[in-house]
Structure 1
Amino acid sequence: MPEFSLNRVIVGRLRRGDDILAALAALARQHRIVTGWVQLLGAVERARLAFYDQAEQRYLDFQLDEPAEILAGTGNISRLRGEAEPFVHLHLTLGDAQGRAWGGHVLEGTQVFACEYAIWVLDGPALERAPDGETGLKLWPPA
């Protein structure tokens, strides 16, 4: 199992209207982040999320076309095998005006209302995601 040390923590705020995934990927490129951990809080104007159907081994996406609070946002930054660009893997739990919670894997099209972030930049080997035959997902290598 690879070990990492904390290099630095980057803290900031995304702009209203930003696509969360695109904005975080741009930050990763700008700060040359190879491996990192992401935490978010704030709100979205709309969200596009997905649930992974384990039996079918495919994502089922859905949209929340209304404002929602980011109750929890967590993810990581690594690479996809064979690609040089950073890959942001992010999950959100969102709360609506009635107190219901929605959550899942974040897809492009999730639009920021207000969003503060912290990115823990890690020093260590570059983690690469590769197709996993057992789950159908692109995962880090097993320990």
Structure 2
Amino acid sequence: MTPLRLPPGTDLKAGLLALLAQPAWADGAFVVAGIGSLHGARLRLAAADAATEIAGPCELLSLQGTLSTDGAHLHAALADAQGRVWGGHLLDGNRVRTTAELLLAPLPGWRLSRAADAATGYAELVVRPRT
């Protein structure tokens, strides 16, 4: 497992995906845990087609998911400034406010990717042994 901190101003999703340009991360990883704060947030809620925008500062209560060179599938739980909790798919455009503290798990011997799944209509996780 690898701990990581993303600094203020970093786009959370893009910052994580940028790791995959490094050879050590090229096969993908699981995001096991994440906490921190954001300048507002953009989530796609369950079964929604459009983004939900959460204004103002947010606390990142939890972040989990997968990273591959084909993209990320990340779920987040956030609290807005009034303490309301929101949860859903993390989209692009979530800027770190003070910090994002993360725990990542690369999987030696395995390669993560995403491929279209006719049953769901989404690009779903594909796990293969690394050759």
**TMscore range, shorter length:** 0.7 to 0.9
Letter in 2 for 1:74: Q
Shift of the alpha carbon at 1:132?
Answer: 1.1
How far apart, in 1, do the equivalents of 2:52 and 2:2 lie? 31
Counting matched residue pairs gives 124
1:7-48, Cα deviation, whole Å (9 max, x unpaired): xx2212101011001111112322531131112101111111
How far apart, in 1, do the equivalents of 2:90 and 2:66 lie? 12
How far apart, in 1, do the equivalents of 2:12 and 2:94 lie? 6
CA contact (8 A) 2:20 2:69 kept: no
Query: Which residue, 64, 70, 73 being the options, matches 2:63?
Result: 73
How far apart, in 2, do the equivalents of 1:116 and 1:134 lie? 35
TM-score, length of structure 2 as denominator length: 0.84
Matched position secondary structure for 1:65 = strand
Report the more deviating stretch, 122-131 or 109-118.
122-131
TM-score, length of structure 1 as denominator length: 0.78
The reply to whether residue 43 of structure 1 matches residue 37 of structure 2 is: yes
Query: Could you list the runs of 5+ residues in structure 1 that have no partner in the other structure?
Result: 1-8, 81-86
How far apart, in 1, do the equivalents of 2:46 and 2:109 lie? 29
Query: Which residue, 7, 10, 22 being the options, matches 2:14?
Result: 22
Identity of aligned residues (%): 35
CA contact (8 A) 1:129 1:139 kept: yes
